[in-house]
Structure 1
Amino acid sequence: MTNNYFDSNLKDINKEILNRLYNICETIQNKNVNEKTKEILRKYINNKLKTIDLDSFDNPANFLSFVNEFLDFAHGVFLDHKVENIEQLENNLLKTILQESLSVSKQCVSKTQLKLEEIKSIFDKLYDGVLVIDTNTRKILSSNKSIEYILKTKNIVNQDILNFAKENKKDYYQELFKKFVKQKKGITEILEFKTAKNEPLMLEASVNMLNESAMVVVFRDITKRIENEKLLIRLNRLYEVLSRINNLVVRIQDVDALFEKVCNILVNFGKFKLAWIGCVDSKTKTIKPKAYAGDKKYLRNIVVSIEEDKPEGSGPSGIAIRNNKIVVCNDIQKSPIMSPWRNQAKQSNFHSSITVPITILESQGPSKVLKAYSDEIDYFNEKEINLFEEIASDIAYAIDFIEKKKKVVFLSSFDPLTNLPNRIMFGYTIESFIKHKKNFSVIICDINNFTAINNKYGYIKGDSIIKNVAKAILEVDKIYYAARTGSDEFGFILSTSNKDEILNIAKSIEEKIESLSFDIDMNLGFTIGVSIYPTDADTQEKLITNAEIALVDAKKKNLFLSFYQEDSNILIQAKLQLQSKLKNAIKNNEFILFYQPKLSLNDLHIHSVEALLRWNSKNGIVLPNEFMALLEETNLITQLGYKIFEQSINQIIAWQKMGFNIQIAVNVSPIQLDDPNFVENVVELIENSKIDKSLIEIEITENTLIKHLDKLTILNKNGIKIFIDDFGTGYSSLSYLKEIPLSGIKIDISFIREMFEKKNFEILRTIINLSKILNLKVIAEGVETKEQLRALKELNCDEVQGFLIAKPDLPQNIEYLFSQTLFYQELSF
């Protein structure tokens, strides 16, 4: 705000100048400067500014002398005392004095005919450029040193001001000049000029009349500012492009759709005139556009090669592919490598281009290029090139993500060893047959003694046998559908319910497999169980179960094949006896928990264990494979399941008293989740115990996920972690995993055993990487060798479980492991 120290009877212009000078001094005085500086300014205000005889300013020479004296004083204070923003402050001061000085000169010109040289000393102190221009001829009458620096020439005086204007702006500026001379009002304009070296300039011009025949123009060079603003706009657009492409990575399902969307984003948000992505055709050695957006005329009949000895192969795309580096052409019409496409670029008004190679992760080299075109020369600078490098990296990651996601989807429905459908898909297909009301039969075929074969010849040989058997089965006529339903088990659907036909097909299977040579000295026998729809069952679960019952019956009777018989006394009586024993075992608390530790690969400590059910019968410890199916079938698992939770909670409390805060993972059957009170009862058990809910983890199989999503969601919201057990053997796909409230997955033991086969290793890497993207904890079960442990650590697996770490055992037998790290350090290095 202007200080009104001076009397109101002073001349308005002189008073305004002195008030501004006074305020400048006070502004500096109030800044964070030392006391010495403040004292200097106080003396100057009191001894100089307040004692000025304004009447002496009737003579312009006296006025200008005073102004120069003040500028010298102020400049010294600024420099000596390190005042902040000195250039801006001093330049604003100088411009103020200049404007007011011109006003004074106009008032006094009739009295003294003021000469230009008398105010040139003020001009030369300005950081901005100043020109005095003849209003009749447009010739420059006077200039200061700054304008010489801006225009890069001392040859300024007597030139027409429009000589420094851009050619395409001269007519407009000529009319603007006439308009100003006519109106005689001060204006400010942004002008497009050029230096004496023909370099572009952007100038902010403040124009005022000096007298009837001259104007004064103050020029501020804003070229850098305008360039930076344009660059900032371009960079912001590219950041927007990068952000939108990042968002595509986890949402897009198809590579072609990804390419199309990337091109559209570059054109719509990056404001490029054309964007396209091309793929290398290995046969023709050419790059063919796969997707594009923008001016597609350029791509008509375009030929781009990767062969260096061809003109079409020595361009940006060929160089980018061969050298795996970004190629920029910032002036297409002058770039020699653009000669084959120069005319097409000119017709499309393309002046700059960037070519970015896209290298898929773990591939040998780039196989795709991303190209973008601008209508500006020198468009791409270092920052933009770096952003395009990030964009290409994101595209490569997205392609890799999509391809690996397809592998995981395949893995969820198919057996990776044989490429046959897995057990889940087998069940779905049976359901499809049932819906169409067709008569058909279900066969379960088991390889006899396969465990002994694996033990004697190893898993590699065992896998080879499985693959050959699968291939042979597919060659048998009249097998409608084949699947691998277990480690040594195959399932078939036959489109007949005639027992004679079924028997003939079964013999064909046997003959086909017997014709194979496996180079082993053990007999590779087969046993087959058959169930028929609708005679034996009317659901896929029962049809498979009954075929398995028939299989067991055939093995007991040493038969090649057995049809399901409902009145099989041996099986029924055995099941009834076992059911009675299981009920008594629950009543007498004969079921106990063994615990198997899980080793954290982050710090090599045991933080969690898995609770494993054992039956402590009169005849010794019985494993779950002997009784679990019947517990589920008879729904006894629901009652027993709550006892398992109670035992686990009590064990957590006992370990806490010993100083160990150990998580316990509890396996939950889908039958338990069918209980409408399951969630409420489990949450109540944990809350009543006062333990942290995160110390209880629930492990479920993949086929439980979708059916019980609501209950799993409630458990998760209550702080109970959910893990998928035996991941890779069911049907969970990425789309499911993203929607389900999971904390992690446990990779099935079959993947760990076969992990060092190249295909399996890549699948394992994919599962772990995708799990990390989804923020899921990854646990590998069945780790039995140091090599497996070290490889899993390198793959960033979170925890491992298996005999190498510790066998399942009673709690008192594993507690010493909770504080042991040296042994695990030795294992992992």
Structure 2
Amino acid sequence: MHYSVALFIIFGLLFATITVNRISIERSAAATEIIKTSTAQVIHGHEVLLLTENISTNNTSDLHDLAKLAIRLETAHFGMMSSGIWSDDLQALYFEDRQPLHRMMTDFIQMSRQFLDADPDQRDQLLTKLIACFEQEGLEEALLSAAFLFEEAANADVQALTVLQRKLLIATIVALIVEGIFIFTPAQLVVNSNIRKLRHQSDVLRGSEAALQSANAKLEYIINHDPLTDLPNRSCLMAYLENSISDGTVGELGILFIGIDGFKSINDEVGHEYGDRVLITVGNILQSCIDDDHLVARVGGDEFVLVTDEPPKALVDRVRASFADPLEIGGRRLPIVTSIGYLKLTEAHQDPFTILADVGLALQYAKNEGGNRSQPFELTLRDEIGSQKQLQIELSDAIKNGEIEPWFQPQIRLSDGRLQGAEVLARWRHPKHGLLTPDKFLPAAERAGLTIDMDHCIWRRAMDLANNWGRTNIWRPCISLNAAPDTIADPHLMERFLLQLQQSGLDVNQVVIEVLETTLINGADDMAAINIDSLAECGVALELDDFGTGYASLSKLTQLPLSGIKLDRSLIAPLPDQNADSVVRAILALAAELGFHVIAEGVEESVQAEHLKSRGCTLAQGYGYARPMPPDDFEQWLAQNANRALDAGGEQPTQALRA
């Protein structure tokens, strides 16, 4: 390849030299011809004047020579105009001076042609003009200057070509020398040089064994550690368990699988960068919970595994204590809630994958039960998790087939003991497992993404039933519908709800929507808040369910158009205990200040009802008045109790005890 390039360069330079020589010869000939033509113009001008003088003086008729002379003069002039040899001075002389040579020459030739056809008197005048143009107006002088300038330009052009010839000759000689030295050097020298380089590289590689080992160690570290938290990853955890199994120490270990509850909402609300800082902080705290010779690994987005030789329950308590107070991260105080699955290993545990799967099932169960709890692994969990997955599969058909049905629990006015409304609760009449309460199938619905369809199915049937009961004039229905967080955040909520309400025949003031505190915290893109505002503008009352068990801020309560709050049964059960009463009174005072009515859940005794009434609570519901009932039983209950005062804990006819 190098030889071909060298030959190509040599032939290229030789061809360029020949071409320049040929152009130089052609230019020299052309320059000589131009100089002769330029000089001839001056001679032809004098000849024109001489002939015109003779013709005018002797009165001869020999005009043929004058005509040919005028033609030669014109030909010479336009030959000069088409010449390829021009300079700035020639350009100015011919076209840019006050008396351009081109215009004077054109006038002189034109007068010479006019002279041929003129009478004697006109010839005298033309002769005078010709002499004046040639001698007095400077045509002769301009032609002489042009001849000089053309000669000078031609010489410069020839000289430039001569210089170019020399440069090409020098370049050819240099190329030949360079190629002779660097390209046509014997191939053996190149081979020897390459051999020496290869030997040197071999020596360098042999001498860098320590560097390679260090690089391999770094690579192995990267492969076995999480890049965000710098904790061991799943691969490292599996290797750790395998080593423990192989050396017989697995029976001494306990393992915890920890997941952060609601971590997705942190990323959604504050951003993934802040979420990363939370994960790093949590990882550091977990590392502080164990000894250096034990393991903390990050095995998922918000999931960590701890392996230690102390009893798992003790480590669970330590982890929970570490997250008892909110964490200070990036100027924010953030409560961290965790679910934990744990397992005490034995010698029978011989498969790392099975170990991780079992403790993972325990974590999943803890999350399914609402989170913020610890769950040891038990063999029964496999069946329960399997049942949950089966419920997820069956739930879609159950909604379509009407197996999810509304049940009704009365809500009583504490002021007079009369019926105010009824909360609609979901029940699944499963063809195999019988009647299932929400705690058994709502987690499956959430994981399957079916909560929205399930809510609308229950709402539609409940509104139709309520409208039918309203036609009997026993009770003007007012039903409270529970809305899951996904339902409230659904962009199509308004159109679906209003269509169902219109089709049922109920008025907007006959329906109440109950939302959870988590809806206010985790509403995606504020869609939940937008829907809550839209429902309120349509005249639908909204209540905050299970108040006192979540983390809704007071600012949320003041920003959203809520009409009431429901006190969770955990606040009502201890009444009339003094400490519990203090909390209830504070909440009632807050509700009164905000203009909210208050519903107390879980009222079972008359003493609780009287206590709540004396504190200003508006409504109550619970087993003390009636349990949740299926539609047929509730219809019978209405017939007997809708128009009479009820007492909590009293004997109410037709009580349904099936929920």
TM-score, with structure 2 as normaliser: 0.44
Which structure is larger by alpha-carbon Rg, 1 or 2?
Answer: 2
Larger relative contact order (Cα-Cα within 8 Å, sequence gap ≥ 6): 2
Higher fraction of strand: 1
Higher fraction of helix: 2
